[in-house]
Structure 1
Amino acid sequence: MRIAIEAQRIFRTNKHGMDFVALESIRELQKLDHENEYYIFVSPGEDHCLEETGNVHIIEVACPTYPLWEQVALPRAVAKVNADLLHCTSNTAPIHCPIPLVLTLHDIIFLEPRQSGNKSLYQNIGWYYRRLVVPRILPRCKKIITVSHFERARILEALSLPEDLVTTVYNGFGQHFYPREKTEQVTRKYIQDKNFLFFLGNTDPKKNVPRVLKAYELYRQKSSSPLPLLIADMKDEYLDAIMKEQAIEHIRPYVINPGYIPNSDLPYLYSGAFIFLYPSLRESFGIPLLEAMACGTPVITSNTSSMPEIGGDNVIQADPFHAEDIANKLIELENDPKLYKSQLEYGLQRCKLYSWKNTAESLLSIYKTL
């Protein structure tokens, strides 16, 4: 087969969730499959993180905007290689596709009521673009892949699709996520304290930043030796505005915000953190949950959406809509060494259920059926 895969953003320097899913899946397909021909379509960027092999060809397609890239430039480029199918990896695809289409639909958050106002222009444009494009491409899909049974059920319910059209393929996590020693050589670039709480956030309302900050303020009141909070991938003005709104500016000296943290440094930060906070309002999978577990760090996550499914029955779950519950779970884990050790050991075992190798094997099986 001649398989085309859209991986538009994998060469950008500051990658995020869907970028890593595409990149790691392709890397494993490279190792697994030496028979079929692969054509990987990317936008030019500085981080050439994927190399060609004998049957894997990288084709850079330049275009000024993402909609034009996907709707005009990509179909033209795919037609030139005479591909048998096109796999689009990031929720959307060309409305007019000349060959069978496989779509990875990570979530349908864009079809659900919005959690609250989002001030990010980039995220708002993406939200409207997905609402416009996805309903138009679904009838053309030969297979729709999503990343958890929770999300599959939501997709089937919301879009009234045939059950055999939508399948679950779990994500994995990078092999460089494992417990690290001598973490301070990396963590000191971001935080001077040896022990800290760690939270990955952004301006997307689903990340629940206001309640995490309120929970941290409550935690500082209850803890006998409160730890500082390291927040990645946030802007100071956004944090300051939330703290002012909630009248918790007094915690600002204890909240460290270094901005974007490269993926290569994350294993050291997970390993160095005392607890990883992941109380999102809504996730379709939750790769950071597995990354932290793989690094031997206990996790506090949410009792909503996919997180109980991915984290398993024994992961510590809090109600993400109640800051008090998040704070209480922090105190409980901090004050109970036996619970802390059991969570560390549980996470190291739980994460073994997931790998990018499993993801690639599932993808290859789907390609063959088409």
Structure 2
Amino acid sequence: MKIGIEAQRLFRSHKHGMDIVALELIRALQILDTQNEYFIFVKSDSDNTCLNETSNFHIIEVPGKNYVFWEQIMLPIYAQKYGVEVLHCTSNTSPMFMSTPLILTLHDVIFMEKTTEKNTSSNYQKFGNLYRKWLVPKVVRKCKSIVTISEVEKNNISKSLDLSNDEITVVHNGVSGRFGIKPSIETIYKVRKQLSLDSDFFLFLGNVEPRKNVNNTVKAFVAFAEINAEVKLVITGIKPSFVADILYEIGKISYLNRFVFAGFVAENVLLTLYAEAKVFLYPSLREGFGLPILEAMTFGTPVVTSNISAMPEVAGDAAFLVNPFSIKEITNAMTIAYKNDALRNEKIALGYLRPNMFTWQKTAEKMLNIYKGRSPEVLAI
């Protein structure tokens, strides 16, 4: 069987959630399936060594600078050229017009939902959301299979797009085996020196999207920092000015030096930050899954996350669950996770077990069955 996988942004240097999911799925499929022939359709970019070809996995670089042109025009041409019998589109959208049976991974329908929060997205993100809002309701009617990443999101998709639950299959994300391996002393020293981390710190993976709840997280940490002078907060993906504006608003700009701005971090740095953080903060307002919860747990790092959306489905009873709209609750959970040894150790122990439920091998097995038109729960090979 010839299977096509759309992975347009796989080679870009700064990979985000959906790119990482696609990469890990393909790597797992390479281990699992040596029988079928795969064509991985990518766009040329700088990180072209993140995935290697094997005898039955071919990397096809498809030209086309514009995202929409690449997907709607060039991808169908190349899928037909290589004779794929099914095409898996991995990142929420797919071509409108093609005869090849389509499988769409619809990670979430956040782009369909109205919000009262200020839109801080970039122009690129705003265009992407408009494109998805226009396209997705149309293409889901044309797909052979629709896959999503959590039961919560399955219900959201069903309601937003007027689909029955039977039309949507849940295939959870997984955790890479690279997580949970303790970094070397030399690596820890290097990362700590690079970020001037000479004390305990919490970790927060930031993003300017309102759903990431940066505003409440910053305010909650300031309240924590007022009575815990020894702890800093490492934030990735956000500029200092973004946090400074929040601190000015609440009259706490003097606390800016308690924040460490790491920018975009490479995976080796992220692994070290997960391993060394005293607490991982993930009080998001809305997630399709929440993979960083599991990634932090593999290192025995206690997690503070939200009691809404997909977070409880992923975290189970292994995290400190909070109302993400309550600054006080987030602060209290930080304090307990940091200072209450009994509860902290209980969550750590449960956290070590949780990632075993979510592996990329299981993800790949289920997707392979979907490619073959079988139930995702039967044996893959």
Q: Normalized against structure 2, the TM-score is what?
A: 0.94
Deviation at 1:235, TM superposition (A): 1.4
Structure 2 CA distance for aligned equivalents of residues 85 and 269 of structure 1: 40
* Candidates 249, 257, 261, aligned match of 1:253: 257
* Candidates 348, 352, 355, aligned match of 1:351: 355
Between the aligned residues of both structures, percent identity stands at 42
Q: Does the CA-based 8 Å contact 1:184-1:194 persist in structure 2?
A: no
Structure 1 CA distance for aligned equivalents of residues 167 and 10 of structure 2: 27
* Candidates 308, 312, 315, aligned match of 1:308: 312
Q: Does the CA-based 8 Å contact 1:2-1:82 persist in structure 2?
A: yes
Structure 1 CA distance for aligned equivalents of residues 91 and 160 of structure 2: 19
The match for 1:2 is: 2
Structure 1 CA distance for aligned equivalents of residues 191 and 119 of structure 2: 32
In the alignment, is residue 88 of structure 1 matched against residue 89 of structure 2?
yes
SS of corresponding position for 1:264:
helix
The match for 2:190 is: 185
Deviation at 1:226, TM superposition (A): 4.1
Deviation at 1:161, TM superposition (A): 1.1
SS of corresponding position for 1:222:
coil
Q: Does the CA-based 8 Å contact 1:232-1:258 persist in structure 2?
A: yes
Q: Normalized against structure 1, the TM-score is what?
A: 0.97
The match for 1:118 is: 119
* Candidates 145, 159, 164, aligned match of 1:157: 159
**Aligned residue pair count:** 369
Instruction: Structure 2: give runs of 5+ residues left out of the alignment.
Output: 375-381
The match for 1:341 is: 345
The match for 2:378 is: none
Q: Does the CA-based 8 Å contact 1:222-1:331 persist in structure 2?
A: no
Deviation at 1:114, TM superposition (A): 2.2
Deviation at 1:115, TM superposition (A): 4.8
Deviation at 1:221, TM superposition (A): 2.3
Q: Does the CA-based 8 Å contact 2:199-2:232 persist in structure 1?
A: no
The match for 2:74 is: 73
Deviation at 1:208, TM superposition (A): 0.4
- The one-letter amino acid of 2:214's match is V
The match for 1:166 is: 168
Higher deviation after alignment, 27-36 or 192-201:
192-201
SS of corresponding position for 2:140:
helix
SS of corresponding position for 1:69:
helix
Q: Does the CA-based 8 Å contact 1:145-1:167 persist in structure 2?
A: yes
Q: Does the CA-based 8 Å contact 1:115-1:206 persist in structure 2?
A: no
Structure 1 CA distance for aligned equivalents of residues 181 and 300 of structure 2: 6
Structure 2 CA distance for aligned equivalents of residues 345 and 264 of structure 1: 24
- The one-letter amino acid of 2:143's match is C
Deviation at 1:117, TM superposition (A): 2.0
Instruction: Structure 1: give runs of 5+ residues left out of the alignment.
Output: none
Deviation at 1:179, TM superposition (A): 4.6
The match for 1:216 is: 221
Structure 1 CA distance for aligned equivalents of residues 270 and 318 of structure 2: 24
- The one-letter amino acid of 1:118's match is N
Q: Would the alpha carbon gap of residues 369 and 47 (structure 1) be closer, same or farther in structure 2, given more than 3 Å must change?
A: same
The match for 2:203 is: 198
- The one-letter amino acid of 1:354's match is F
The match for 2:20 is: 20
In the alignment, is residue 47 of structure 1 matched against residue 47 of structure 2?
yes
Q: Would the alpha carbon gap of residues 78 and 115 (structure 1) be closer, same or farther in structure 2, given more than 3 Å must change?
A: farther
Higher deviation after alignment, 179-188 or 210-219:
179-188
The match for 1:108 is: 109
Structure 2 CA distance for aligned equivalents of residues 233 and 248 of structure 1: 21
The match for 1:235 is: 239
Map Cα deviations across residues 113-143 of structure 1 (whole Å, 9 max, x no partner): 1251223212111111110110110110111
Structure 1 CA distance for aligned equivalents of residues 345 and 318 of structure 2: 13
Map Cα deviations across residues 228-264 of structure 1 (whole Å, 9 max, x no partner): 0100111122222222233321210110102000122
The match for 1:207 is: 212
SS of corresponding position for 1:141:
coil
The match for 1:63 is: 64
Higher deviation after alignment, 359-368 or 173-182:
173-182
Structure 2 CA distance for aligned equivalents of residues 25 and 115 of structure 1: 35
Structure 2 CA distance for aligned equivalents of residues 343 and 220 of structure 1: 22
The match for 1:324 is: 328
SS of corresponding position for 1:196:
strand
Structure 2 CA distance for aligned equivalents of residues 8 and 187 of structure 1: 34
Deviation at 1:186, TM superposition (A): 2.5
